[in-house]
């Protein structure tokens, strides 16, 4: 592989890489292929699958200090994808129409309630647009998470800008623990180091 900028042939070495792409400033990927040239670093990032999300969520749960807003937001988004993936976790948060997000071809959907969505799916199964149903499922998952956290609705959760009060901190960690326990995907090996109270999360890339 050559650098896109200068064309020099890149030599990859297993290294550590501070991965900022999740919106967190403290996630270090270990054993990842990194090459350097005058243009900077080129990193061969893996697709951040469920195993990586589980590892980060798990490590954030070990932080003794309260979560900050970025961490809270990261976990919230991860929980949404966990609920899409695991019917067990979906059920735990009270998301009752998880099967809807698995279909690809829907018709006109009446989104006024889970019941009408269900009816619409039956009626229009062959002609529709699954983006709508996915958006609807996502909205409902966020509502379920909001309720679990003691908030009124999804809008309150999505508007939330902190601070993360101990009540929310406690409840979202509970959901995290539950997700890590109930999701079948293999969690990446992970660890944390605390330097003057600041957490650094290490995620070990599985050998290919």
- 128: tokens are 């529709």
With contacts defined by CB under 5 A, name the span among 28-36, 38-46, 63-71, 106-114 that binds Zn ion.
38-46
Cα distance between residue 15 and residue 51, in whole Å: 20
Please, what is the minimum distance in Å from the beta carbon of residue 205 to Zn ion?
Answer: 23
Query: CA 184 → CA 10, 54, 56, 79, distances in Å?
Result: 37, 10, 16, 14
Crossing angle for the helix pair 69-85 and 166-182, nearest 10 degrees? Answer: 30
- 49: tokens are 């699958």
Nearer to Zn ion, 3 or 200 (CB): 3
Please, what is the minimum distance in Å from the beta carbon of residue 35 to Zn ion?
Answer: 9
With contacts defined by CB under 5 A, name the span among 31-39, 111-119, 133-141, 159-167 that binds Zn ion.
31-39
Does 1 sit near Zn ion (CB under 5 A)? no
Query: CA 59 → CA 48, 80, 85, 201, distances in Å?
Result: 16, 18, 20, 7
- How many residues touch Zn ion under the rule CB under 5 A: the total is 5
Per-residue contact flags (x/-) with Zn ion for residues 149 to 188, judged by CB under 5 A: ----------------------------------------
Please, what is the minimum distance in Å from the beta carbon of residue 11 to Zn ion?
Answer: 12
Cα distance between residue 11 and residue 124, in whole Å: 53
Residues 132 and 183 sit within 8 Å (Cβ to Cβ): no
- Read off φ and ψ for residue 15, nearest 5 degrees: -155, -175
Does 37 sit near Zn ion (CB under 5 A)? yes
Does 39 sit near Zn ion (CB under 5 A)? yes
Does 5 sit near Zn ion (CB under 5 A)? yes
Nearer to Zn ion, 38 or 161 (CB): 38
Nearest to 171 by CA among 146, 153, 152: 146
Regarding beta strands 27-37 and 198-204, do their DSSP bridges make them parallel or antiparallel, or are they unpaired?
parallel
Nearer to Zn ion, 6 or 158 (CB): 6
Owner of token pair 């270090």: 28
Does 69 sit near Zn ion (CB under 5 A)? no
With contacts defined by CB under 5 A, name the span among 32-40, 69-77, 114-122, 186-194 that binds Zn ion.
32-40
Q: Which residues bind Zn ion (CB under 5 A)?
A: 3, 5-6, 37, 39
């Amino acid at each position: 592989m050559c650098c896109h900028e200068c064309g020099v042939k890149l030599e990859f070495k297993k290294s550590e890489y501070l991965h900022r792409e999740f919106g967190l400033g403290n996630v270090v990927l270990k054993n990842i292929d990194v090459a350097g040239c005058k243009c900077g670093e080129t990193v061969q990032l893996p697709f951040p699958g469920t195993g990586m999300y589980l590892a980060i969520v798990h490590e954030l749960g070990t932080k003794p200090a309260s979560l900050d807003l970025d961490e809270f937001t990261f976990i919230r988004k991860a929980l949404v994808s966990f609920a899409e993936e695991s019917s067990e976790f979906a059920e735990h948060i009270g998301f009752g129409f998880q099967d809807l997000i698995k279909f690809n071809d829907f018709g006109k959907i009446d989104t006024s309630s889970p019941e009408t969505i269900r009816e619409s799916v039956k009626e229009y199964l062959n002609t529709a647009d699954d983006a709508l149903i996915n958006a609807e499922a996502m909205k409902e998952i966020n509502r379920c998470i909001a309720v679990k956290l003691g908030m009124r609705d999804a809008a309150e959760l999505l508007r939330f800008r902190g601070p993360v009060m101990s009540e929310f901190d406690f409840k979202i960690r509970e959901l995290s623990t539950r997700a890590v326990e109930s999701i079948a995907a293999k969690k990446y090996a992970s660890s944390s180091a605390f330097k003057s109270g600041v957490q650094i999360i290490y995620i070990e890339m599985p050998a290919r």
